[in-house]
Chains A and B, each alone.
Chain A
């Protein structure tokens, strides 16, 4: 495994020997730590209320909504029977997860509009505080990773 096998650099199409790849090598510790963080939110030992397949599906959903389809497909590989949720037009009603999906969408895409009520709505639906934190970490990490991928792709495109 090198940093060029990481989800972040592969999804952005950054290869060894390119100018952007050389820059990434100066921050190889960060690329490696990003992969460790991805593993911690997608496949944690203690998944709480969110099994690995559901986490993968929600991550793919957020990446799809952002137009990061290559990254979304990588997440989707782990989504199993939850794969339907990766489609942003599905509201999660069928899976009994409408409250989780609505919250993830708002936290990912309309962050500035989040209110205390969005958290109390989850609590009222029976989501425990530890699971609310787990859900936020998942959404927040994906928001980070998709922006690193988008930025790297712009960097690569601009390289002579």
Chain B
């Protein structure tokens, strides 16, 4: 038996789709191509198999995702993860928040920031730079967008340059997208350990 995870955690749960994913045996050439399935690589997650239903989107989204989160220059990897976490907390995407809090903790070699965020949410005790980044990410993720000129000014006061601010806007917005797939199309679950 598995149960749905409702609380923020850094321990990454399983993801259980609410729709039936594409069956690899029945996938079209275009789907196999987008899934990068080759004879030596046949392991594809349930999430990616679900997205393969819209193969045209999947094909363009993966390189975009990687560029926003991993391309060199601009904002640090860990701070981009903080943007992703801000969005995922607003949208309560438990799965996304877990994956990206885990990455943040590993990049920083320190779990203090994500511990604090998961314990206290927007009241978390953060240093001024993380505070400005998290608040901007959180407010940009609200519907409608709540970020304003004052939040932008705080980013500059905290020392962020234009390239870093752009990367924060991109990584936060990207999770406005990812959360609406992951949180909407499936549940974060954990296997019950039998006594």
Contacts and interface: CB of A to CB of B under 8 A. Distances in A.
A54 B37 CA distance: 33
Nearest to B136: A151
Decide if the interface of chain A is mainly helix, strand, loop or mixed. helix
Interface residues of B, number: 57
A129 interface: yes
Contact of B18 (A116, A144, A148): A116
Contact of A111 (B20, B71, B74, B91): B91
Contact of A27 (B92, B149, B170, B185): B170
8 nearest A-B pairs in the assembled complex, by CB-CB distance: A151-B169, A140-B180, A144-B177, A147-B173, A133-B53, A129-B19, A112-B92, A130-B53
Contacts, number: 171
A137 B54 CA distance: 8
Contacts of A45: 56
A114 B183 contact: yes
Contacts of A30: 64, 67-68, 71, 170
B176 interface: yes
Interface in B16-46: 18-20
Given A26-B73, A151-B147, A111 B169 contact: no
Contacts of A37: 57, 60-61, 64
Contacts of B169: 147-148, 151-152, 155
Interface string B9-21: 0000000001110
B30 to A, nearest CB: 9
Interface in A129-158: 129-130, 132-134, 136-137, 139-141, 143-148, 150-152, 154-155, 157-158
A145 B169 CA distance: 10
B141 A147 contact: yes
Nearest to A157: B149
A45 B67 CA distance: 25
Interface of A: 19-20, 22-24, 26-27, 29-30, 33-34, 36-37, 40-41, 44-46, 48, 65-67, 107-112, 114, 116, 118-120, 123, 129-130, 132-134, 136-137, 139-141, 143-148, 150-152, 154-155, 157-159
A33 B183 contact: no
Given A26-B163, A44-B56, A132-B185, 16 more contacts: A23-B165, A33-B64, A37-B60, A37-B61, A37-B64, A41-B57, A130-B54, A134-B53, A134-B54, A136-B181, A140-B181, A144-B173, A146-B145, A148-B170, A151-B172, A157-B152
Contact of A151 (B54, B56, B74, B140): B140
5 contacts: A29-B71, A46-B55, A107-B180, A136-B181, A151-B140
B127 interface: no
Interface in B88-102: 90-93
Contacts of B174: 144
Contact of B20 (A66, A129, A145): A129
